[in-house]
Amino acid sequence: MLQRLPAALLHGCTTSSPTPSPSAAAGGASPSPVANGDVPETATATLGFIALTDCAPLVVAKEKGLFDKYGMTDVKVAKQTSWAVTRDNLELGSVNGGIDGAHILTPMPYQISAGKNKSNKPIPMYILARLNTDGQGISLSNEFKDLKVATDSAALKAVVDQRKAAGQKFKAAMTFPGGTHDLWLRYWLAAGGIDPTQDVDIVVIPPPQMIANMESNTMDTFCVGEPWNSRLVTKKLGYTAVTTGELWKGHPEKAFSMRADWVDKNPKATKALLMAVQEAQVWCDDDANKAEMCEILSKDKYVKAPVKDILERSKGNFDFGDGRTLKDSPLLMKFWRDSASYPFKSHDTWFVTENIRWGYLPADTDTQKLVDSVNRADLWQEAAKAIGQTAAIPPKDTRGIETFFNGTKFDSEKPAEYLKDLKIKKV
């Protein structure tokens, strides 16, 4: 059994598992914790989400009655307007009009736990599951279509340098400082020799507002989750340069995270929520359910986007908007298959290390201790066993050494060495 270390967070410096068969499909015959006498301490929880395709597990768990199935009969899924609002509402907690947990950018629970929040005070958070892998993109306005920018951002360097010399920096948008989209964007730019701190003006735009801001020429490029890259192409406002799965195949993305005090007070309710979310992830990854999933997400109260803009990339069909297309690509967003739901500690170590790289967390952050205090893979395992998915539990808390598109490798046991070898960084 995995162990959780005390939450003293800062100061100091740290094989694919078998693909499970989706035996516990939504609405299936998985045993209810209520039937087993494992009654949740509370039936109430408020969970936030942002209008992105990867909020699907929370939305499906609500729409398909999976929260109800496991005794959580009063779960609210509350749409948030931005990641900053998500952070602030997590700080409040539902008792103060906020939220108890959320569909969230994986680095955010680490920032909040480390006191990088509105109050500048540590608020312990737990990551209970990864919600998805892959499924994000970096897109550019049509102005740069002739440059044929793809995985190698070096094709943009001349433009970036010219803009900088003229006192009008190249403008890039992401969704939250130190969040996944910020890190993908920065990694991609730096790999092409562009310093995102010195050479580019990076701005924060909430995901659903990316299209309107590109239309009004607020930015030259953005990194965001689907369906907003697809929507940009549909509206002929730009093209997708690269999907994030091309930068790091099978990369971790969003997480299901909750306030630690809520989890500690309500362990049975937490398990029930996690069982429902895991079962929803199994359902979402069944190809037979993709169309229905996207129909649900398209509703105004959820993503509020045309079904087609959500569906095609969810099926692995990519129209990049510049003549390139992919059919049945393995780069599609994954919710359960290939251990997509498992919160590998090695992945969280990378996110914390990259937050140190760009100055969002102190250079002397004790990475190992921080990860061990936030990541609750042990709770994931308990819930997986309860829904009949024991075979989905990976043998280790790591997938091994990860390799990025530019050949850079990350060993979670040697994050300081990885950081030292990076040429462009703020730390």
- List, for residues 341-350, the tens digit of each pLDDT value: 999 999 999 9
Average the pLDDT over 101-117 and give the result.
98
The proportion of the chain whose per-residue pLDDT surpasses 70, expressed as a percent, equals 91
For the question of whether the overall pTM of this predicted structure is more than 0.85, the answer is yes
Which tens digit of pLDDT belongs to each residue from 67-77?
A: 999 999 999 99
Cα separation, 375 vs 47, in Å, equals 18
pLDDT of residue 207: 98
Q: Which residues, other chains included, contact 167 with Cβ-Cβ below 8 Å and sequence gap of 6+?
A: none
Among 2-16, 270-284, 298-312, 382-396, the least confident range: 2-16
- Asked if residue 191 has pLDDT above 80, the reply is yes
Q: Which tens digits make up the pLDDT trace of 303-352?
A: 999 999 999 999 999 999 999 999 999 999 999 999 999 999 999 999 99
Q: Using CA atoms, how far apart are residues 78 and 302, in angstroms rounded to an integer?
A: 9
Q: Pick from 56, 90, 69: which is nearest to 26 by CA?
A: 69
pLDDT of 21 higher than 60:
no
- Tokens 């939250």 correspond to 176
Q: Which residues contact 128 (CB under 8 A, 6 or more apart)?
A: 101, 255, 256, 257, 258, 263, 270, 273, 274, 277, 343, 376, 379, 380
pLDDT at 49: 99
Give the pLDDT confidence score for residue 206 in this predicted structure: 98
Would the CA dihedral through 306, 310, 313, 316 be positive or negative? negative
- pLDDT of res. 28: 41
CB 105: neighbour CB atoms within 10 A?
26
CB count within 10 Å of CB 217 equals 10
CA 166 to chain CA centroid, Å, is: 36
pLDDT tens-digit series, residues 356-408? 999 999 999 999 999 999 999 999 999 999 999 999 999 999 999 999 999 99
Residue 205 dihedral angles phi and psi, to the nearest 5°: -135, 130
Looking at domain 136-247, its CATH class is alpha beta
Which residue type does 365 have? T
Percent of the chain at pLDDT above 90?
A: 91
- Delimit the CATH 3.40.190.10 region(s) of the chain: 44-134+251-285+334-421, 136-247
| Distance of alpha carbon 84 from alpha carbon 75, whole angstroms | 22
- pLDDT at position 30 over 80: no
CB atoms inside a 10 Å sphere around CB 304: 12
- Homologous superfamily (CATH) for 44-134+251-285+334-421: Periplasmic binding protein-like II (3.40.190.10)
3-state secondary structure the chain: CCCCCCCCCCCCCCCCCCCCCCCCCCCCCCCCCCCCCCCCCCCEEEEEECCCHHHHHHHHHHHCCHHHHCCCCEEEEEECCCHHHHHHHHHHCHHHCCCCEEEEECCHHHHHHCCCCCCCCCCCEEEEEECCECCEEEEEEHHHHHHCCCCCHHHHHHHHHHHHHCCCCEEEEECCCCCHHHHHHHHHHHHCCCCCCCCEEEEECCHHHHHHHHHCCCCCEEEEECCHHHHHHHCCCEEEEEEHHHHCCCCECEEEEEEHHHHHHCHHHHHHHHHHHHHHHHHHCCHHHHHHHHHHHCCCCCCCCCHHHHHHHHCCCEECCCCCEECCCCCCCECCHHHCCCCCHHHHHHHHHHHHHCCCCCCCCCHHHHHHHHECHHHHHHHHHHCCCHHHCCCCCCCCCEECCCCCEECCCCHHHHHHHCCCCCC
According to the model, what pLDDT value does residue 38 have?
86
